[in-house]
Amino acid sequence: MLYRMATRSRLISSAKRGKLLICYSAKGKVMMDDKVLSALIGASVVGAGWFVTYFQQQWAKRREERIAFMRKQLEEFYTPFLALVQKKIHVQQIEDKRLEGLWEQNSPDWNIIFTYFEDNHIVPLMQQIGDLLRTRSYLAVDWPVSFDQYLRHEAQSVALYQLWRKTERPGIINTEPWPKDLEEDVRVRKEQLEKELRKS
């Protein structure tokens, strides 16, 4: 059996189970059996490979989790959010157009048309948007001012409408207006997520 050692070196130590594994030269240099050295090198390579594989798997797992969360943000928050906001805006435009001039004419049709749109479209849409913001806020990329403005607008407007609906007592109270930046704020964040998903 061959060993790595200098010429004319003196073996000083020891054996294990009758086979010499590690020895020292007269100069004190460590020398090792070729098989042991190969085994250690192999173990080091295997260990390094395991760490590389582990970190690759962790990176891939985090990437997949991030992609899944972005999809969840789009599917459960931003896509329905934008659709509800746009629908509310479009229905409101139709309602306003239909009511145009009726108030000034003191027409009984104003009350019929107004309550129809509010009861069947506007109020339910506003409540759906508010519920989405309150229950899915953890999916938001961030929280622009328009989101808080909307929640105040919805809470005040719906409460006052329901009061009028039950009592038929009119009154003028200033409420939080519809946030003019809401649609754009939702659209920008939705498109940003879609762009990031396409890159992933």
Residue predicted with more confidence, 43 or 96:
96
Mean pLDDT of the chain: 84
For residue 12, the model assigns a pLDDT of: 40
59 occurs within a structural domain? no
In sequence order, what are the residues at sequence separation of 6 or more whose Cβ sits closer than 8 angstroms to the Cβ of residue 174? none
50 occurs within a structural domain? no
CA dist 118 and 161 (Å) reads 9
Lowest average pLDDT, out of 21-25, 52-56, 126-130, 138-142, goes to 21-25
In sequence order, what are the residues at sequence separation of 6 or more whose Cβ sits closer than 8 angstroms to the Cβ of residue 129? 81, 84, 85, 88, 150, 154
19 occurs within a structural domain? no
For residue 196, the model assigns a pLDDT of: 96
CA dist 21 and 32 (Å) reads 6
26 occurs within a structural domain? no
Q: How many domains does the chain have?
A: 1
60 occurs within a structural domain? no
49 occurs within a structural domain? no
For residue 139, the model assigns a pLDDT of: 98
pTM of the model: 0.74
pLDDT tens by residue, 87-138:
999 999 999 999 999 988 989 999 999 999 999 999 999 999 999 999 999 9
Give the range of the structural domain holding residue 143, as residue numbers without chain letter: 66-199
141 occurs within a structural domain? yes
Among the residues of the chain, which ranges form H helices?
34-73, 79-99, 109-117, 123-135, 145-167, 182-199
